[in-house]
Structure 1
Amino acid sequence: MAQAAAARLCYGDHFGLREAPFALTPDTGFYYQTLSSQEALNVLLVALSHDEGLVKISGEVGTGKTLLCRKLLAELEADGRVTTAYLPNPLLTPAQLYASVASELGLPAGDGQAAGLVEALQQHLIALRAAGQRVVVCVDEAQSMPDASLEALRLLSNVETEKRKLLQIVLFAQPELDERLAGKALRQLRQRIGFSYVLQPMDYPTFCGYVRHRLHLAGQRGAALFRPAALRLLFRASGGVPRLVNILAHKALLASYGAGLTQVGRRQALAAIVDTEGVRRPLPLWQCLVLLLAVVLLCGLCFWAGQCLRGSL
């Protein structure tokens, strides 16, 4: 959309919004508790409270894995008894992996040798456990981590006392990781994963609540900004995937602002859908009519066949 850059700066005033309601950055301030995200968070908190060494959360692109990861980190850090490490970049060699975990936990990298880092990490983890601290490492985009580094991560999760793990690891990944785990190369890692959960897209009622929630937090008051017909179109196009919802809703607001409207209608929703790659586009009218005609003909044939069968009996 040609006016996107300019409109992005000013449509807030037009719609009575303090901030952008559909930004793509994973802001925990806009976290919306869906059934799937709450179940995933519950799985994580229960697994970590039981000293599970490895936990996996998977989901398709845009289903909210990074936001869930940040929500988990915020909850763990608020506990006061958990030390956390966050690895947003999975493209690490084993040595870089150990160095990143050490850095996150406040340890110097030393000579950079993997063996020395693992020994230093083990001693530090023992000291943290003695001080009453649990340690949780969250790895984002884990599907992109090389096999050797995933194996190094498994070996790191082996650091333990006679009774409990000294380090817990949570993998956030796209379904490609599940495909890799099904192979022989990573079977040992697969067997170490005690709990897992697959994030699901939103259903229609949840989608509507999600849109209202984000608009409310952004400052919207008064009449609904999205007409029901527009919401239905945006839901079908996005498939309930939060990232696509944000992209489409933002573009639909831009289209309404550009037209001087105070609500998003069907036409603005369609403009947003046409302007966005990777979404489900509605069928043209002529295709809908052809499908309807095919259904009518099929029903007629079924009725005729039934009548003929009864007549022959």
Structure 2
Amino acid sequence: MYYKYFGLVESPFSISVNPRYLFMSPRHRDALAHLLYGVGSGGGFILLTGEVGTGKTTINRALLEQLPGNVDLAIVLNPALSAVELLATVCDELAIDYPKGHHSLKDLTDALHRFLLNNHDKGRKTVLMIDEAQHLDFDVLEQIRLLTNLETDSEKLLQIILIGQPELTEKLGRPELRQLNQRITARYNLEALSLEETNAYIRHRLQVAGLPSGRELFAPGVVRAIHKRAQGIPRQINLLCDRALLGAYGRKLDRVNRRHVAAAAEEVFGTAHASVNRSSVPPWLWIFSGVCFGGLLLLLAVGFRAGPSPMPVPTAADNLINDASVNAADSGTDTVQNVGARSEPQAAGWMINEARALEQLWQLNSDAPFPAEVCSGLENEPDVDSLRCQQGTAQVWDSVIALNRPVMLDMQTPARFSAATLVVAFEGPLAWVLSNDGIKSIRLVDMATAWRGRYRMFWQPPQGWNRPLVEGDIDPAVAVVAQLFATLDQQVTPLTKQRFTPALAERVRLFQAQNNLTADGVVGVQTLLKLNDALGKGLVSGAALRRAQWLMEGP
């Protein structure tokens, strides 16, 4: 991708956990020191909290690497368990034998107690780490507290590390959990990076990725913009930097500018995140703006009476193009038709030959040569360049818009000939299409009568995935999907390998609910598309629009 263009040897801002990119800010070092102290002090509970993406997994990895050799560690990554299931998971992690099939809390506690006593006699320590602990039920937390009653005269036999989001601190502050809260011997809340730490973090990742000395990709002003929009959260910094570099690459620029950051923020976080906070604007500026706006309305009214103005009125969609293409206004080439200048239905500008539309759709998604017989409709059609053709039908625009990908629509001309329309992106009631005249905005209402309800698109499925996966399936693709969720959650170990376990099904349902999908636990195309979006894989609409503009202008 873009990294070679900037002299890098690999992508510097991947959200997957890579130990080579470990960045320990002063905040991370303080957090690690608190955890190491808690483990060494022989106390009961250690607490680490922080917002999503602040680097808790980074701390976990550093802690694991620095634990002494005489420590046995059990890690629970899925806390959505009952008390019995949690104890069984701990026993499994520590390879403790216990009665299989029907087993009680007493059976499991007795087996764990015997193991802890034997470990203590051998001079070994036992540590239990529970991630996402804010999801633990109250009765499970109480059972965990009881585990710390297993002790000798001098120390606890089991050290417990609770890791979670700030809600965990609020939960532990409840009166019914005061006994557990009082047993916490070390606690640390991991906060976001400062501006200086953000600058050091970005520099560190670029250097690890092989940035040549003396080259600067992010000027100080751009770093300030990234820090402000990402709020100092490392994961969001990664997403913004990655998309901003992609934008600069698409424009063949040597450095990222603030326009790239703004476009990246809109793509990653949505328009609401990129909007101006009204409370931060001085009241006098709103008054001044109101006066100017009133004057503008008056001028428009006068102009309307005098006759239509030949100057087209820019729309929000025009701004989207301008944000993605710096200095496009200075080029003197008008490739984007204004929304107000409607194309007549009989004009074939936005309805083109099917073969040409399919080839252009491929060029949007891949730099590889256009393959023969792609999207032929044959069963088990092989993937090309890791891309798969997805064909489907839809009754309403909402279904196609939800794909968040460029699509080729099967159309019918007024003379009842077959045609196609290549939609690069949707924006409200408009579609941005590649036409004979360049990129144009077309109203969906004008396209509706010609659309036959069929679409085609390219996407990147997990390796080996050929059918929807359901709980109980045993398939190599299950391991790939589990690893994708582990990457998304910044977890070292996936929930499963080749068997689709109840734990993975629950994680899938949670993800589906968060993304407004049917929470059925089935890993199908829609779920994988949203998972790709969350991981930054594939050509989403915003990036497709910028790439289309770049392809139209030429390298």
Q: Which amino acid aligns with 1:176?
A: E
Q: Corresponding residue for 1:116?
A: 107
Higher helix share: 1
Structure 2: how far apart are the matches of 1:65 and 1:53? 20
Structure 1: how far apart are the matches of 2:279 and 2:135? 41
Structure 2: how far apart are the matches of 1:40 and 1:141? 17
State whether structure 2 residue 270 is matched by structure 1 residue 281. no
Q: Corresponding residue for 1:64?
A: 55
The structure 1 residue matched to 2:198, chosen from 207, 211, 215, is 207
Runs of 4+ in 1 over 4 A off after TM superposition: 287-290, 292-295
The structure 2 residue matched to 1:89, chosen from 78, 90, 93, is 78
Spell out, residue by residue over 1:208-264, the C-alpha distance to the aligned partner (whole angstroms, 9 max, x if none). Answer: 000011111122223011122221111110111111111111111111111122211
Q: Corresponding residue for 1:130?
A: 121
State whether structure 2 residue 253 is matched by structure 1 residue 261. yes
The structure 2 residue matched to 1:231, chosen from 223, 231, 237, is 223
Aligned partners of 2:131 and 2:163 also within 8 Å: yes
Superposed displacement of residue 294, structure 1: 5.2
Superposed displacement of residue 268, structure 1: 0.9
Query: Who wins on radius of gyration, i.e. which is larger?
Result: 2
SS across alignment from 1:58: strand
Q: Which amino acid aligns with 2:183?
A: R
Structure 2: how far apart are the matches of 1:271 and 1:52? 49
Superposed displacement of residue 189, structure 1: 1.2
Q: Which amino acid aligns with 2:220?
A: P
Aligned partners of 2:98 and 2:107 also within 8 Å: no
SS across alignment from 1:36: helix
Q: Which amino acid aligns with 2:13?
A: F
Aligned partners of 1:66 and 1:172 also within 8 Å: no
Q: Which amino acid aligns with 2:131?
A: D
Spell out, residue by residue over 1:86-143, the C-alpha distance to the aligned partner (whole angstroms, 9 max, x if none). Answer: 1111111111111111111111342332211111111111111111211111111100
When residues 288 and 139 of structure 1 are mapped into structure 2, their CA distance, relative to the original with a 3 A threshold, is closer
Structure 1: how far apart are the matches of 2:172 and 2:107? 29
Q: Corresponding residue for 1:101?
A: 90
SS across alignment from 2:176: coil
Q: Which amino acid aligns with 1:114?
A: L
Consecutive unaligned residues of structure 2, counting only runs of 5 or more, are 289-555
SS across alignment from 2:5: helix
SS across alignment from 1:276: helix
The structure 1 residue matched to 2:15, chosen from 12, 24, 27, is 24
Q: Which amino acid aligns with 2:186?
A: F
Q: Which amino acid aligns with 1:89?
A: N
Instruction: Give TM-score scaled by structure 1 length.
Output: 0.84
When residues 292 and 207 of structure 1 are mapped into structure 2, their CA distance, relative to the original with a 3 A threshold, is farther
Spell out, residue by residue over 1:5-30, the C-alpha distance to the aligned partner (whole angstroms, 9 max, x if none). Answer: xxxxx112112222222122233332
State whether structure 2 residue 242 is matched by structure 1 residue 250. yes
Aligned partners of 1:17 and 1:218 also within 8 Å: yes
Higher strand share: 2
Aligned partners of 1:252 and 1:271 also within 8 Å: yes
Q: Corresponding residue for 1:80?
A: 69
When residues 234 and 282 of structure 1 are mapped into structure 2, their CA distance, relative to the original with a 3 A threshold, is farther
Q: Which amino acid aligns with 2:3?
A: G
SS across alignment from 2:232: coil
Counterparts of 1:120-199 in structure 2, within 5 Å, are 120-199=111-190
Superposed displacement of residue 267, structure 1: 1.5
SS across alignment from 1:108: coil
Structure 2: how far apart are the matches of 1:28 and 1:135? 24
SS across alignment from 2:48: strand
Aligned residues: 284
Q: Corresponding residue for 1:301?
A: none
Q: Which amino acid aligns with 1:268?
A: H
Structure 1: how far apart are the matches of 2:121 and 2:23? 36
Cα RMSD, aligned residues only: 2.3
Q: Which amino acid aligns with 1:74?
A: E
The structure 2 residue matched to 1:52, chosen from 40, 43, 49, is 43
When residues 290 and 68 of structure 1 are mapped into structure 2, their CA distance, relative to the original with a 3 A threshold, is closer
Superposed displacement of residue 52, structure 1: 1.2
SS across alignment from 2:47: strand
Q: Corresponding residue for 2:334?
A: none
Instruction: Give TM-score scaled by structure 2 length.
Output: 0.49
Task: Choose between structure 1 and 2 for higher RCO, CA contacts under 8 A separated by at least 6 residues.
Answer: 1
Superposed displacement of residue 168, structure 1: 0.1
Aligned partners of 2:48 and 2:187 also within 8 Å: yes
Spell out, residue by residue over 1:123-170, the C-alpha distance to the aligned partner (whole angstroms, 9 max, x if none). Answer: 111111111211111111100111111111111122111211111001
Aligned partners of 1:19 and 1:218 also within 8 Å: yes
Aligned partners of 2:46 and 2:160 also within 8 Å: yes
Consecutive unaligned residues of structure 1, counting only runs of 5 or more, are 1-9, 298-313
Aligned-pair identity in percent equals: 36
Q: Corresponding residue for 2:326?
A: none
Aligned partners of 2:4 and 2:10 also within 8 Å: no
Spell out, residue by residue over 1:45-96, the C-alpha distance to the aligned partner (whole angstroms, 9 max, x if none). Answer: 11111101101011122111122112211221xx211111111111111111
Aligned partners of 1:141 and 1:174 also within 8 Å: yes
